[in-house]
Amino acid sequence: MIVDHGTRPFDERFMRETFAEYRRRARQVVAWSRVMLSGPPHVWEPYRLAARHRATVDRFANSFADPTGLIEWFPHPERAMEYIDGVPDPAPVAGTAR
């Protein structure tokens, strides 16, 4: 965001917009971290699915850099189960136990 700002002034508007973007992302990171660390029962099913489904593995791995792809469904039991139910019978992921 700073590089994209170019030669424009780093004024109050810039600071407010930058902080708003930071806060939006930080809230998602904190929410995802809380779920990952607390391990409520519904999160184990997506982990089990990830052992058999490449797209889910990739989705989890990519969420370490940007959790926005998980935050809409992963912390919510009903949405997590909807995601799982929407995955066709997955083939095992290479290199994982069955």
32 to 11, 54, 66, 74: CA distances (angstroms): 32, 20, 10, 8
Q: Is residue 71 within 8 Å of 29, Cβ to Cβ?
A: no
- 45 token code pair: 């099913």
Helix H or strand E encompassing 14: helix 12-38
**pLDDT attached to residue 78:** 93
Q: Is 82 exposed, middle or buried (0-12, 13-18, 19+ CB in 10 A)?
A: exposed
**pLDDT attached to residue 16:** 94
Report mean pLDDT in 10-residue bins for the chain, 98 residues. 82 92 85 82 87 89 81 87 86 58
Distance CA(98)–CA(52), nearest Å, equals 7
